[in-house]
Structure 1
Amino acid sequence: MSPQCECCGENITKLNQQVSVMRTEIKNLRQMLDSSVRAHRKQLAAVQAVVSKAGSCEEEPRPSPPSSSAHVALEQGETLIQTTPIGFIISCFSVKNGTPRQPNICSPSRAELRIQRSVFNNPEHALLGLDRYSHVWIIFLFHKNGHLSYKAKVKPPRLNGQRVGVYSTRSPHRPNAVGLTLARLDKIEDGRPRFKFLHSSDEAVAAIRGVLSADPRSVYRRTRCRDKLFFFTIDTADITCWFGHGFVEVLQVRPVGKKNELSIHLNTA
């Protein structure tokens, strides 16, 4: 084969790769457009329902007893259940990349629950006796997932494109974006249950090993992406690592927001 034919073959291969990437991007754009259309339709339907209900209520009906009316409204789905957040969680994982899907994957990880004083004037009174327990259940809200749209079927990243029902997954995109987790209680200080962050370099190494041992990459990055670099943040450190065949190497650990500062090197199989 002549050098000119080899050059043409390489160009064709590159063009095919670019076409494949463009098709993927077009597919993603279509999915985003479909989600936006569904969200718009839901909002429009809600507005129309409110307008029609306001127009039909010319005469105010005679109120029924509170208990029975509330019960009927709940059965018919006409009542919104409102909750008041008691506080906010701050953990050593500030971004999605590298966040373990289960707490036992990275046991050294810690967090802090900050109780709002707007709920109780003296929040420490509400926590009296809690320090006698080793673990606590925390019911929380995924308040940063957008809440714009959700689907009955989703494709979890570890099922290689298989569609399953949203209620059989950990997807935070659901009608009621509520989560439940079990946390080990470290201590209560200044009226706040503390789960703390990493205390030492040994804990930092153990936390990094725990995250990488579970391979936090998506199926696409593991099977189709040529770029083997992976970045994630834990506590106050940005981690840069390289995934090879059967091993992963941490290339750089540096404080968040700082550049060209190398502090820890380690290999983990």
Structure 2
Amino acid sequence: MESFYNNNRKIAVIQNSSVADYEGFKDADISEIKSKDNFIPALVLEGSDNESLSDYSNVNKMAIVGEKSDFNDSSLIDDNTYLVIEPNNRSAVRKLRNSTDLLVEMHDQFNKQDRNVDYLSKTDELFSTEHLYYKEDGYYGFSDYSIIGSDYSSAGFAAKAVAIHLVYFDENDELRVHHFVSDSNDNIQNPALKAHEALEKLIKFVSNPSFDKTKNDSEALREFEELYKIDKYSGLGYIKKLSIKHHFEIMGRYLDKD
């Protein structure tokens, strides 16, 4: 949050998470950051009994309306509210889309597999083209769940295979995702080796001249390269964070030039 503030970037943080234990930020420093104009309190709205956006005095607020949400009260959405909405919620779209100009579409673009080893059947696939067409579709912005997907799970498990997912721009500026899967996938032993095998494939992929570094270079890629160079296993959670960081970096650069 402090990094967003120091770089004059807006950041929205969900205040009423229902999928994990989350009580917000309580200390004084964070409270000060939350009072800044670049901080956007976000609420997931499910029905009529929601925490009110009017409880927050920030310049901008964000309402998130998912596919199964029953929320449709346009009187609670004003011109300073970002309305992030799943287009498949046709009822909400019809009733809410004219309540604000800050309408943002929300899609789950990640083709999540049941097992990591299943990504071997299709190691490279289209991720998204929403960034190319969202304005034509009448939206102010677009959003997705990066390489996590919309199905949230706080519990980890020992997998036979390790998969690293990397989003990148192709020659047509479409977003694709490449899946790098380990080779030693017969059992759950030695996750560090599995991670190294997957990371080696990633390094070879991004080192290929066909990989456009102008569009796809990132600090996260350099961290991946350093992990591979020193052969350090920092855990699968850290690897996933780097994949998300890379996605943020290349998309941020793309939008900055738009």
Indicate the TM-score class for this superposition, using the shorter chain for normalisation: under 0.3
Q: Which has the larger radius of gyration?
A: 1
State TM-score, norm by structure 1: 0.23
State TM-score, norm by structure 2: 0.24
